[in-house]
Each structure stands twice: as structure tokens, then as C-alpha cells.
Amino acid sequence: MIREDTFPATLVVTAPDFETPVEELKSRPPTAGAAYLAITRVIVTHDVVIVLVDDVAGPKIVFQERIDPSTHYKGSIYIDSYITTITGKKLAWRKDTACGCGSRLRSYRPFNSMSSSKDPTE
């Protein structure tokens, strides 16, 4: 189950011991001292957060970690979404107003799969 899929998004990530509470982190302008990525795709499932960037070889996962779903807050174009991983890392992101045109992240579908009612080996 996908809880949130945001693209394009600005993102900040902090270590567990970062003093600013997760709900006060800002991706625009980025919270001072937080790691910042300008163009990302952030996917939150029922138990994992995944951050992707566009790389010369195509979409690349740069962060993936298990989460406690109760720490997920879904924001808007004006308010950052945020989450805390089970190891305590804090992430905050917000949908960017840019279109993301030209990025392969736009059409990337990591969870699409084909299904069949018949076993192809029969």
C-alpha cells in the first residue's frame, strides 16, 4: 500500500540526534544543518520510506529505510510532509511547484507488476 508518492519534491534528512523536532523541519528553505536534496521522488509505503533521484543510469534509490507508519504526516504544497524512521532519522519534504518535465522519475513505477491467473510454466 502506498501512503504517499510525491514528485518533484524538495527534501531534508537529519540524523537521529539532530535537535530540531521532525515536525519543525523545513525543506524550503532547508533547515540549517540538514542534508538537502532539490529534486527527489519520495514514496512512503505502509512500512518503508524510499527517496529516489534521477541519475545518468535512470532513477536511483538514495535512501530507503523502515518506518513506524504512525510517524507519517502528509503535508501539502505549502506544508512539509514528514516521517521518522525506526532508527530515528528524520525526513521532511514538500511537493515542488516545478513540473519535473524531462526527469525519468516522473514516469518511474517501482510497484507496477504484471499479473496472470495462469502459471506461465504450465
Q: Print burial letters for 75-96: b (CB count within 10 Å at least 16), e (below 16).
A: beeeebbbbbbeeebbbbbbbb
For the chain, domain boundaries: 2-95
Residue 50 · residue 43 · CB < 8 Å: yes
- Range of weakest confidence among 6-20, 23-37, 68-82, 97-111: 97-111
Per-residue pLDDT band for 35 (boundaries 50, 70, 90) equals: very high
d(CA 57, CA 33): 30
pLDDT value for 66: 98
Q: Peptide bond before 8: cis, by omega within 30 degrees of 0?
A: yes
pLDDT value for 104: 83
- Asked if the model's pLDDT at residue 23 lies above 60, the reply is yes
Mean local confidence (pLDDT), 1-27: 96
Here the cell at position 10 is 524538495
pLDDT averaged over every residue in the chain: 90
- Residues 2-95, CATH architecture: Roll (2.30)
Each residue's pLDDT tens digit, 37-91 = 999 999 999 999 999 999 998 899 999 999 999 999 999 989 999 999 999 999 9
Provide the β-strand partners of residue 66.
48
